[in-house]
Amino acid sequence: MQFFETEMQRLREQNLFRNLQTIHKTQGVQIELVDGTRLIDFCSNNYLGLANSPGALAEAKQALDVVGMGSTASRLLSGNHQQHERLEKSLAHYVGTQAALVFSSGYAANVGVIGALVGREDAIFSDALNHASMIDGARLSGAKIFIYPHRDTQALEKLLLEHARHFRRKMILTEGVFSMEGTCAPLPKLNELAMQHQTILYVDDAHGLGVLGKNGRGIFSHFNVSIDADHVVYLGTLGKSLGAMGGFVAGKNNLRAYLINFARTFIFATALPPAVCAFAASIVENLMANAASIEKLRSHCRYFMEKTKHWDGFSRRQNELVPIQPFWIGDEKKTLQAAHHLWQRGIFARAIRPPTVPMHEARIRITLTAGHDEQHLDALIAAMQDIAA
């Protein structure tokens, strides 16, 4: 169709066209492309370096031997296996809630859960920089959406005072750690506002789980805010720090039962493979007992921030424990050039451009992991010096 080429040409002219990069092999933080090029990966969300954990892989293999690769059905049919329930119990215990429910992805969880909790008679108060899955879930729910500036609790409070009383149910919608900013939600104040205005507090902690708090229990643990409350809905993913795939929602027992009956992306989706659940459960259970990988990651974050603290592009960073280190450039073409420069220096770090971020706020999104070592970080810093100058 002609409009395909028209639209793609428009993207090329605006330096917004994207393509896929095929990876042939991964060895720790080293990736090898199909043409043999080898790069140090600073794009991965595998923050704790656990995606190839031998113990967890062994548990996944055992599950494969028992039930095969696929779960074969939705969990309400014949797809509910022991490993799903094991994982949910482990996740609930890990984050500190009564129960958890696993979805096929974090995206599916956000779309399904937001739509199950609020509808056309309700209101959502959403941070301006929330993830696309949260935006889509909010739009599809049919609720009235009020946007407040990023992390601006005064603006949020004003919106709540003006509008909250006019709606049946209300929801404050926020990421825990913002995936493209590396900033943390002001959770204590958000929790206070949620209680004052009898509002659901929905926190997508995809990038905080495994990173922040005691043993990586997430942003609620980090801020010492109670997660085990009737108004709290907590979302996490299995595909980042936990090294697997999928998403989950945690909260009270009645929340889990409600979502089994009302979340369409749970009801009508084939369940995650039991082997994936066994892998993730093994990771979670080990994190509860051993935080060595978390401490290593935090050490890397502190080291990198200390070395780059005077660089203008990193001026918006706030939390030394967050592995997301965006380097703001602004201009889309210059950002592509910066990514290419890093590539030539053996560093794999992608240019982040609209629609992932607002226009003229393009950046290089660097992610640190426990799998890196000091030599990797020094190589990155050396490669970035020309960009930062």
Is position 93 annotated as part of the catalytic site? no
CA-based nearest residue to 335, from 351, 316, 349: 351
Instruction: Give the CA-trace dihedral at 37, 367, 201, 130, to 10 degrees.
Output: -60
DSSP, residue by residue, 348-387: E-PEE-TTSS-TT-EEEEEE--TT--HHHHHHHHHHHHHH
Is position 299 annotated as part of the catalytic site? no
CA-based nearest residue to 206, from 237, 183, 181, 165: 237
Beta bridge partners of 324: 367
Q: Give CA–CA dist 122/169, Å, rounded.
A: 5
DSSP, residue by residue, 298-345: HHHHHHHHHHHTT-GGGTT---TT--EEEEEEE-HHHHHHHHHHHHHT
Catalytic residue from among 84, 240, 372, 376: 240
Catalytic residue from among 84, 197, 207, 372: 207
In this structure, are residues 227 and 93 in contact, taking their beta carbons and an 8 Å threshold? no
Catalytic residue from among 179, 241, 282, 293: 179
Is position 296 annotated as part of the catalytic site? no
Active site residues: 179, 207, 240
